[in-house]
Amino acid sequence: MHVQSYLFFEGRCDEALEFYRTKLGAEVTMLMRFKDSPQPAGDGEMCGGAEMGGPPPGDNVMHAEFKLGDSTLMASDGFAKEPAVFRGFSLSLTVADEAEAKRKFDALSDGGQVQMPLAPSFFSPCFGMVQDRFGVGWMVIVPQPNA
């Protein structure tokens, strides 16, 4: 079994992918737009959008995959009917050292909101929490060195 995160940016997926590419070094490995779907709109399936209130704009991202380090995340514009809401989870970004933690944390903070500044804790020499400009929660952590 394999579990992956799938983020719905509700019309801002292109912007989010570019942000993660420039700020975190993400690599987009797959991208399909609604207009490129082999399944025609209105055929009753999710991709067509008949049950979801009509098809989304053709240039919107239907499905994308991007790599951050060793992890692959998936993303979409969804049906872009309302603002994206990311609640009840955070993505945890484990980095090698405090300098890298600061770079990644500052990058994610650009246009976002710091929830807990980077600082030492009992479980990490450097840990912080931030919500990026898209509303996605991130925890940046440097692992505790082996004793």
Q: What is the pLDDT of residue 38?
A: 83
CB 89 within 8 A of CB 61: no
CB 23 within 8 A of CB 107: yes
- SS3 label, residue 22: helix
Write the DSSP string, 89-113: --EEEE-SSHHHHHHHHHHHHTTSE
Reported pTM: 0.87
pLDDT band at 77 (very low <50, low <70, confident <90, very high): very high
Q: What is the pLDDT of residue 16?
A: 98
Distance CA 47, CA 1 (A): 25
Q: What is the pLDDT of residue 53?
A: 56
Could you give all domains of the chain from N- to C-terminal order, each with its CATH number? 6-76 (3.30.720.100), 91-142 (3.30.720.110)
Q: What is the pLDDT of residue 37?
A: 84
Q: What is the pLDDT of residue 57?
A: 75
Strand partners, 146: none
What would the pLDDT profile of 15-60 be if each residue is shown by its tens digit? 999 999 999 999 999 999 999 988 765 544 554 443 455 556 789 9
Distance CA 64, CA 133 (A): 19
Q: Which helix (H) or strand (E) holds 127?
A: strand 124-131
CB-based contacts of 83, cutoff 8 Å, min separation 6: 10
Residue 20 CB coordination number (10 Å): 24
Q: What is the pLDDT of residue 39?
A: 75
